């Protein structure tokens, strides 16, 4: 369901975008985790990169302002997130942009205790007026969460 929302006003005159604080703004740009990709089996005898998990995801613009996603931060030190496609722009005419996340597990013991539904990611994006926003992110359904946990457990067992 899409709805119309009037665009926010530009920054007050005299203020530069780089001097403004980061705005906490819910439901403007969302990160949706769609499906983890099954880890590839390395050739026998080669070192496994089992701590790397690819997750098919998407950014969804639910507001009315063109925004550019700048970064995704991990929930804790045991996990690192790479998104080679960043920055990614979403707009009212292109609300949905597919991306692939690379999750790197630095500490398997902590990673296997990670509950995706309890520990969302944090994303930052810049709106068309240059203001930077930060929000929690990582919406996913139960089957995606179960797949993530299963792949994390399997990958960490091979290390």
List the domains of the chain with CATH numbers: 21-38+49-157 (2.60.40)
> At residue 144, what are phi and psi to the nearest 5 degrees?
-65, -40
Backbone φ and ψ for 32, nearest 5 degrees, come out as -115, 120
Tokens 């399997």 sit on residue? 154
The number of angstroms, rounded, from the C-alpha of 103 to the middle of its chain's C-alpha atoms is 10
For residues 151 and 42, the answer to whether their CB atoms sit within 8 Å is no
| Residue 10 scores a pLDDT above 80 | no
DSSP character at residue 18: G
Structure tokens at 94: 């292109």
**pLDDT for 51:** 67
Radius of gyration for the alpha carbons in the chain, expressed in angstroms and rounded: 18
To the question of pTM greater than 0.85 for the whole model, the response is no
Identify the pLDDT of residue 158. 61
pLDDT higher than 50, residue 1: no
For residue range 56-82, list pLDDT tens digits in order. Answer: 999 999 888 999 999 999 877 778 899
For 101-150, the pLDDT digits (tens) are 998 888 888 877 777 776 678 999 999 999 999 988 888 888 888 888 88
Cα gap 101→116, rounded to integer Å: 14
pLDDT at 21: 54
Predicted confidence (pLDDT) at residue 89 exceeds the cutoff of 90: yes
Identify the CA nearest to 144 among candidates 104, 110, 116.
116
């Amino acid at each position: 369901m899409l709805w119309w929302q009037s665009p926010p006003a530009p920054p007050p005159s005299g203020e530069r975008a780089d001097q403004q604080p980061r705005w906490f703004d819910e439901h403007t740009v969302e990160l949706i985790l769609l499906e983890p990709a099954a880890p590839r089996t390395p050739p026998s005898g080669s070192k496994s990169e089992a701590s790397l998990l690819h997750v098919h995801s998407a950014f969804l613009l639910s507001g009315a302002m063109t925004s550019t996603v700048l970064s995704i931060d991990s929930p804790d030190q045991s996990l690192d997130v790479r998104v080679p496609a960043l920055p990614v722009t979403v707009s009212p005419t292109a609300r949905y942009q597919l991306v692939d996340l690379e999750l790197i597990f630095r500490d398997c013991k902590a990673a296997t205790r990670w509950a995706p539904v309890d520990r969302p990611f944090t994303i930052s994006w810049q709106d068309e007026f240059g203001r930077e926003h930060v929000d929690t992110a990582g919406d996913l359904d139960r089957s995606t969460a179960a797949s993530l946990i299963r792949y994390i457990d399997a990958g960490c067992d091979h290390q």
